[in-house]
Structure 1
Amino acid sequence: MYTELPIPDNELDRVMGLSDYNIDFTSTENNFKDLAKLAASVAGTEISLVNLIDSYTQWTISSHGLNIDQMPREESVCQYTIVEDEHFEVTDLSEDVRFKDRFYVTNDPKVRYYYGIPLKSNGLNIGALCLLDRNIKSLAPEKTELLKIIAEEIVNRLNAYKIIDSLRNKVTEVTSTQNKVVHDIRGPLAGIIGLAQIVSEQGKENNMDEVLEFINMIYKSGNSILELADEILTSENKAVTLQGGELNLKTFREKLEKLYIPQARSKNIDLPISISPETDNIPFSKSKLLQITGNLISNAIKFTPNGGFVNVKLALIQKEISNVLKIIVKDSGIGLKQDQIDSILSGDSTTTHGTDGEKGYGFGLALVKHLIEGQKGTLKISSDESGATFEVELSQ
């Protein structure tokens, strides 16, 4: 018997909203490390995590006190936080039937206390700022208010990086748009810095150490983003580098291996990722590629029995007008019936359980279809007794 999963009413909109950030989960730790540390300091907890939750996985984009990159969504506590408006608190995880058998409760770090605040973006809870401790605790109201401010700053910073990433992709094409976006970044951030200076001075007089630390860190982070905006503004005549908004087949494979081999190993599944060597250094836009391919890989792992395989093939085919990126994900799983394939391609796919008891949320493949259509690409699905194959083609 499966425990009912907490799913937000706006789940498809929520995962689509998260995908709009086009986040590369392999390179986010340093962007939010100061805020994760600050949250733990304010709450007085040993551990704090900044988590984003997609269709299958909880991604920890920054952490303090615990080294963790990801976990299956169905095993997380934060899946309950994202269905709340304000917060979700569990005084003792070991006494809660939903969590008492989780690995992080029964084994190291053996956490007991949990407090989570939703990360809200345009009315959508895309993740959670969570505080964890090995001892039972309680948080004073003034501390929870400060934690809400930190959660808002995390989303503000995500939005700033989203704008900057978009700007990098267009820096050589649309100078006027570039100037406007940088101006839009500078205005609110300059206001934050000015306010931080005022509150910092008042804080010193009142000896508010926690508030001072919070304000000072926002002041430093705001300045760093302003410096980055200035750097982009002065790079008008520079070519867009691979590190900006592009990948090649080599870097694409490296990122997929880092993100999804841990998931495959948890079920003893082989996950080879091959690339076409003749075009492995040609750059292409990374927009939505990690989201599309990652969801296909996670879905394949979910429906492949222990000891099976998920083969991924990446190829860039050179064409006269534009290149075509081809992504093939084939698994040795339980396969799909034709009505299931039709349902996926029509956007009506529903949730099912995986081969190892994993619970489903029903929106992973719907998101993939939406993203591919947004990129004006194509999705083909085939299946037989040996497993299912998903084939994507995207113009580059």
Structure 2
Amino acid sequence: MIQQVSTEEQEFCRIHKLSEFDLQYQEMAEEFGQITDLAATIAGTEISFLNLIDNYNQWSISANEFRNIPREDSICSVTIQSEADHMEVNGLHLDERFQSKEYVKKEDGFRYYFGVPLQLESGEKIGALCVLDRGEKSISEKQRRFLKLLAEEIVGKLEMKRKIHELEYALITAEKSRNQIAHDVRGPVFGISGLADTLRDEEITGEEMREYLDMISKSANGIIEMTDDILNREARHHLLNAHLLNIQELRNKILELYRLPAGAKELSLNVQLSGEHQQVTFSRRKLLSIIGNLVSNAIKFTSEGGEINVNLEILQKEACYFLQILVSDSGDGISEEGLQKINDLEPGTSLGTDGERGFGLGLPLVKQMVAERNGEFHISAGNIKGTKVAIQIPIK
């Protein structure tokens, strides 16, 4: 008997798959902009976008810009929910699903849309490649085939980036282990070298013993030089740094991504830094996905004029460092039932303060991603004004 998978479970798998790519959306235009330009040229349309759709937002990449809109305003969100391999709408202003969208209803709004889902080998659709035009038109079967090939090319590039990142993170982890071994080896080797030097200076057993001890000393010094090489290779240092952030850089990325969505709802978004270890660097892996889901959730459930506060701090406990993330908002809080669903990693749909639609997957997804980084997740008890989430993730 085939087990049926619920829509909520499918959607959770989909957005979790997207989070595994650990994409820096605002940095993708350089790599994928030419593909969107080519898509618009093939279709003969004004513009094309690579759209990636998470639990709350559509992140749009083109050759000349990067933007995001709420997911409920996205045409591509409808495209990826369909079983078809494309969606075409000629007359967006006449379609009940889209005619009220701001970019459609204005006088010079878009009229034509063609979108192809970005479907992974495992089946999940993480977004779409689309073309848009302000005039009504149609495209040929040949043009459609080329656009589908471009969509496959995008998926291939994204899959390759994910595999490269996984290998790089594995290399970084191995590098840290090797460096630790090198440090551990240096102490004993220095002791051997020092002992050999001492014994050489003591005329205990004659010339033959001195020659033997000389060999020990040279061998030990050779090992020391080898460990220095392991610790100081510039290429490895560069690779490691490419995946590291400090909390000031993390703060800037959060504000860059979410200041406009918060401002659109007239919310105050404050990201503050605390503590004495602000220059400590750490892996950025999944951090923007974790914090982004928390901030997006706060935006959704906080009424106009409210505020969202994010506090970032590096904590030191003995020889270990932890990144502490505190996110709070002035919304209505979360019920005991909703809190239990989050703790059980169970989706629960609800509308935002402006009627925003969602699958209720953001906080369960955050909890799972934090667990994948061996961190701790805590959320305030139900029926308290506002929602408060505290996360600690080991970083060193």
- Give the TM-score normalised by structure 2: 0.79
Provide closer, same or farther for how the CA distance between residues 31 and 261 of structure 1 changes in structure 2, counting only shifts above 3 A: same
Q: Which amino acid aligns with 1:260?
A: Y
Residues 370 and 377 in structure 2, CA contact (< 8 A), matched pair in contact too: yes
The alpha-carbon distance between structure 1 residues 68 and 108, as it changes in their structure 2 partners (threshold 3 A), is farther
Contact 1:372 / 1:378 at 8 angstroms: preserved in 2? Answer: yes
Secondary structure of the 1:318 match is strand
Report the counterpart of residue 350 of structure 2 in structure 1. 352
Q: Distance between the aligned counterparts of 2:273 and 2:255, measured in 1? A: 12
Counterpart secondary structure, 1:10: helix
Aligned pairs (5 A) from 1:144-159: 144-159=144-159
Structure 2: gaps of 5 or more residues: 1-6, 176-232
Q: CA deviation at 1:322?
A: 2.6
Change (3 A) 1:172 1:339: closer
Matches within 5 A, 1:316-395: 316-383=314-381, 385-395=384-394
Q: How does 1:225-304 map to 2 (within 5 A)?
A: 237-240=235-238, 244-304=242-302
| 1:116-135 alignment runs, 5 A limit | 116-121=115-120, 122-135=122-135
Secondary structure at the aligned position of 1:69 is classed as strand
Structure 1 residue 241 displacement after superposition = 5.2
Paired residue secondary structure (2:269): coil
Distance of 1:365 and 1:385 partners within structure 2: 17
Corresponding position of 2:143:
143
Residues 8/165 of structure 1: CA separation in 2 closer, same or farther (3 Å cut): same
Two-structure CA RMSD over aligned residues (Å): 2.0
Q: Which segments of structure 1 move beyond 6 Å, counting only runs of 4 or more?
A: none
Which residue of structure 2 lines up, in the alignment, with residue 112 of structure 1? 111
Residues 344 and 8 of structure 1: CA distance in aligned 2, closer, same or farther (over 3 Å): closer
CA distance in 1, matches of 2:107, 2:53: 22
**1:100: which partner in 2?**
99
1:335 and 1:388 in contact (8 A); partners too: yes
Equivalent residue pairs, number: 329
Question: Deviations 1:183-222 (Å, cap 9, x if unpaired)?
Answer: xxxxxxxxxxxxxxxxxxxxxxxxxxxxxxxxxxxxxxxx
Find the counterpart in structure 2 of residue 31 from structure 1: 31
SS in 2 for 1:128: strand
User: Secondary structure of the equivalent of 1:253?
Assistant: helix
Q: CA deviation at 1:125?
A: 0.3
Q: Is the 8 A contact 1:168 1:240 kept in 2?
A: no
Deviations along 1:316-360, one digit per CA (max 9) or x if unpaired, are: 112334311111110000111222212211112301001111112
- SS state at 1:323 partner: strand
TM superposition shift of 1:54: 0.3
Judged with a 3 Å threshold, the aligned counterparts in structure 2 of structure 1 residues 109 and 10 are, in CA distance, closer, same or farther, namely: farther
Return closer, same or farther for 1:88/1:16 CA change in 2, 3 Å cut-off. same
Name the amino acid aligned to 2:89: V
1:72-91 matched pairs, under 5 angstroms: 72-84=70-82, 85-91=84-90
* Shift in CA distance, 347/338, structure 1 to aligned 2, threshold 3 Å: same
Q: Secondary structure at the match of 1:238?
A: helix
Contact 1:325 1:394 in 2 (8 A): yes
Shift of 1:68: 4.7
Distance change in 2, residues 1:240/1:168 (3 Å): farther
Change (3 A) 1:32 1:237: closer
SS in 2 for 1:131: strand
Contact 2:42 2:143 in 1 (8 A): yes
Query: In the aligned structure 1, how far is the partner of 2:246 from the partner of 2:166?
Result: 18
Pairwise CA distance, 1:276: 2.0
- Cα 1:268/1:125, change in 2 over 3 Å: same
Paired with 2:153 and 2:235, the residues of 1 have a C-alpha distance of 32
Query: Do the aligned partners of residues 294 and 382 (structure 1) sit closer, same or farther apart at CA in structure 2, a change above 3 Å counting?
Result: same
Q: Counterparts of 2:263 and 2:246 in 1: how far apart (Å)?
A: 25
**Deviations 1:284-320 (Å, cap 9, x if unpaired)?**
1111111111000000110000000000001111233
Identify the residue that residue 307 of structure 1 maps to in structure 2.
305
Distance 1:367 1:9, change over 3 A: closer
The answer (yes or no) to whether the contact 1:165–1:244 under 8 Å persists in 2 is no
DSSP 3-state at the match of 2:339: helix
Q: Quote the offset at 1:257 in angstroms.
A: 0.2
- Corresponding residue for residue 17 of structure 2: 17
Deviation at 1:24, TM superposition (A): 1.4
Separation (CA, whole Å) in 1 of partners of 2:13 and 2:320: 31
CA distance in 1, matches of 2:281, 2:44: 46
